[in-house]
Amino acid sequence: METKEIIYCLKKIVKPYVQNDLAFQDFGRDTDFIKDLEINSANLVDIVLDVEDEFNIAIDNDSMDNMLTVNDAVEIIKTKQREQ
Amino acid sequence: MNRRVVITGMGVAAPNGVGLAAFSEALKKGKSGIRFQPELERLKFRCQIAGQPEIPEEMLQEYFTKLELRGLNSSGIVYGVISGVVAWKDAGLPVGPEAETDWDNGIIFGTGILGVDKFREAIHLIDDKNTRRLGSTSVIQTMASGISAYLNNKLACGNQVTTNSSACTTGTEAILMAADRIRSGKAKRILAGSCSDSGPYVWGGFDAMRILPHQYNDDPEAGSRPMSESAAGFVPGSGAGALVVEDLESALERGAKIYAEVLGGHINSGGQRNKGSMTAPNSEGVKRCIKNAIFDAGVRGDELDVINGHLTATSMDATEIRNWSEALELKAKDFPYINSLKSLTGHCLSAAGSVESVASILQISEGFIFGNQNSEDLHPEIEEIASREKVPEKSFFREVNLVAKASFGFGDVNAVAIFSKFR
């Protein structure tokens, strides 16, 4: 899957959790889920589950802890897809 | 310091009406909310009828954000939030992200058990060794205080925010606890109420105890028969009721409408002695609770217009009437009018006290007494105590000044609240 396509899917997944709509307009590789989008940290758990369902992958605990930005997510998704 | 305490807002999600207007009309028309439940038939329950509020999809979207609705599987939270937000708005108080923390506002919103369907989901995932997939709301939907937490997310209360639990007295207890806190000057406004989940996982235990009626699966509306000779057990219900309990001074300052005054009340336990048990009340405790409530309110028994009893439709109904008669020293024609909401809603369990308190207060604010469905064959032991006309079958309009609301619960716990017209 191409990076662009992954980012497009991520944007859809993240949308319901976003509390800063202005920052969401500039959604891109450098966007930080908590600092920029002001997503409640408890909801990061839900985003991981949604990502697992969408991309049909399993995200281990270590990867989960490192998934802070869109770029982190893209890298994790690519790695997990390659491993399969 | 003894401040006067009034009710300035109400909301309800009852099996026979969601929202004050629909609920009030249901009371006046004797509309039942008890329906056949295919799910209970599928699961081979003896009793396959129950009372469950009907919440349309648009209403969910009105009271919950899209994010809150994701994975929401706690009917008690749905009923509690809808009734609580309706009550708060009804009182003219701010709701939503714009509301700022108000240190004088609190929440005492009780429940028996919360989010059983969500908890069942979690149990399945955990047993499948899939705990990591529970999501972020498993805890908040199943902690007892989840209901007050969800409400406060919308109401921004900065005073005490808690959840009480005392079986079927929970709702009445919440109102009296709120009134106590306001009387003592520790808060100005408290959202008091209670909720109870729907469904087989809440009702199953009662079915197993064989205290629910199994004879009315084909005729659900005839199933709940408080005070009737043919009463065969209580019909399980669910829902929520909410009341804004407010310091009179604050209500007058705000120019709030006042439904009624909370004159007083009493909460006690029979100690599970002297025929009191885990499931039956000690009559001495019940009578003390009634007498102390009347004393606390500063009224006389013969001033009561209406008793809204606990009266679930079991063999204990006659005992309850006898306890009222002995505590108030009134009988026959002098006995107050008496009614039980449960003929129309079933027994809403932990929500019963608050839903029935809303019904009690509507009788004061709108001037009517609602009738007891399915009481045409009044139990002879009851007719020996109260004149037949004191147990009306149909609703009628009449000025109502003083109502006693009683709730009794498993564990031998009692609560009686006295509501009056505000003067």
pLDDT at residue B261, as a whole number: 98
Is the confidence metric ipTM above 0.95 for this complex? no
**Domain match, B169 and B297 both:** no
Instruction: Tell me the Cα Rg of chain B.
Output: 20
Q: What is the pLDDT of residues B74-128, one digit of tens each?
A: 999 999 999 999 999 999 999 999 999 999 999 999 999 999 999 999 999 999 9
> The domain containing residue B150 runs over which residues?
5-260
Q: What is the least distance, in Å, from the CA of A28 to any CA of chain B? A: 22
Helix axes B352-366 and B170-183, enclosed angle (nearest 10): 70
Instruction: Say if residue B174 is in the same domain as residue B283.
Output: no
Which of residues A83 and B346 earns the better pLDDT score? B346
Longest CA–CA span in chain A (Å) reads 36
**Interface membership of A68 toward B (CB under 8 Å):** no
Nearest CB among A16, A46, A61 relative to B136 is that of: A46
pTM value is 0.96
- Cβ contacts (< 8 Å) between B135 and chain A: which residues? 45-46, 49
- Give residue for tokens 């079986």: B167
Same-domain check for residues B34 and B140: yes
Tell me A54's DSSP state. H
For B133-183, what is each residue's pLDDT tens digit?
999 999 999 999 999 999 999 999 999 999 999 999 999 999 999 999 999
Is residue B165 located within the same domain as residue B27?
A: yes
Measure in Å the smallest separation between the Cα of B206 and chain A Cα atoms. 36
Q: How confident is the model at residue A62 (pLDDT cuts 50, 70, 90)?
A: confident
Report which of B2, B108, B1, B7 is spatially closest to residue B417, judged by C-alpha positions. Answer: B7
Strand pairing of B396-397 and B402-409? unpaired
In words, the CATH class of domain A3-83 is mainly alpha
Q: What is the mean pLDDT of chain B?
A: 97
What is the pLDDT at residue A61?
86
Residues B86 and B61 in one domain: yes
Tokens of B330: 């009134």
Q: Last residue of a domain, which of B260, B291, B326?
A: B260
Domain's final residue, options B199, B234, B260: B260
Beta bridge partners of B194: B110, B241
Q: Which residues of A touch B66 (CB under 8 A)?
A: 16
Using an 8 Å CB-CB cutoff, list residues of chain B that contact chain A: 66-67, 70-71, 132-133, 135-137
Question: Do residues B134 and B14 share a domain?
Answer: yes
- Here the CATH number for the domain that contains residue B244 is 3.40.47.10
Please indicate, yes or no, whether residues B217 and B98 belong to a single structural domain of this protein.
yes
What confidence category does residue A18 fall into, taking pLDDT thresholds of 50, 70 and 90? very high
Q: Is B273 left (phi over 0), alpha (psi -120 to 50) or beta?
A: beta
- Please count the structural domains in chain B: 2
Q: Which of B213, B244, B58, B77 is nearest to B148 (CA)?
A: B77
Please indicate, yes or no, whether residues B291 and B333 belong to a single structural domain of this protein: yes
Asked whether residue B199 falls in the same domain as residue B302, the answer is no
Find all residues with CB under 8 Å of B225, minimum gap 6, and list them: B213, B231, B232, B313, B343, B374, B375
Shared domain check, B301 and B243: no
B272 in the same domain as B240: no
Nearest 5°: the CA angle B22, B219, B54 is 30
Residue at which a domain ends, from B213, B245, B260:
B260
Compute φ and ψ for B219, nearest 5 degrees: -145, 65
- Interface contacts A/B by beta carbons within 8 Å: 17
Q: Are residues B327 and B381 in the same domain?
A: yes
